[in-house]
Structure 1
Amino acid sequence: MSFWKDKLAILQSVIAAMFGVQSQSKYQYDFSGSKFWPFVIAGLFFVLFFVASLLWFVNSVVLTA
């Protein structure tokens, strides 16, 4: 169960940081005991998903216009 809690905590931290609502205490907690790479990987996946969804949305709007 701890495995999924850790992954969920990383996901929550990445999403909060992407939208600029990450608190300083949460930021310090994340990087005091965790390694850096899980956050980088999760951040890259989030950015790729975000860009792909924007491309899909823009293409669907342009095609219907």
Structure 2
Amino acid sequence: MNTTTFRIDGMHCDGCADRIRTLLGKEPGVREARVSFAEGAAAVRFNPHSVSEARLREVIETGGFNVVEMTA
């Protein structure tokens, strides 16, 4: 398992965080997604053999949010 943290711009409330959590949770290989509106970040634990960091970023951005930084 890998864990990556995405700094996210465009969240306006806890509902936005819930939406991102739901979108990430639908991806095969995602084991856990912790998303915090207050911190403006999502920490995702995932199986790198099932889903890539690039795909996770795409999921967040397709949901209408901007990934401004990614850290492993």
TM-score (norm 2): 0.27
Structure of higher CA gyration radius: 1
Write 1 or 2 for the structure with the bigger share of helix.
1
Higher RCO (CA 8 Å, separation ≥ 6 residues): 2
Write 1 or 2 for the structure with the bigger share of strand.
2
TM-score (norm 1): 0.29
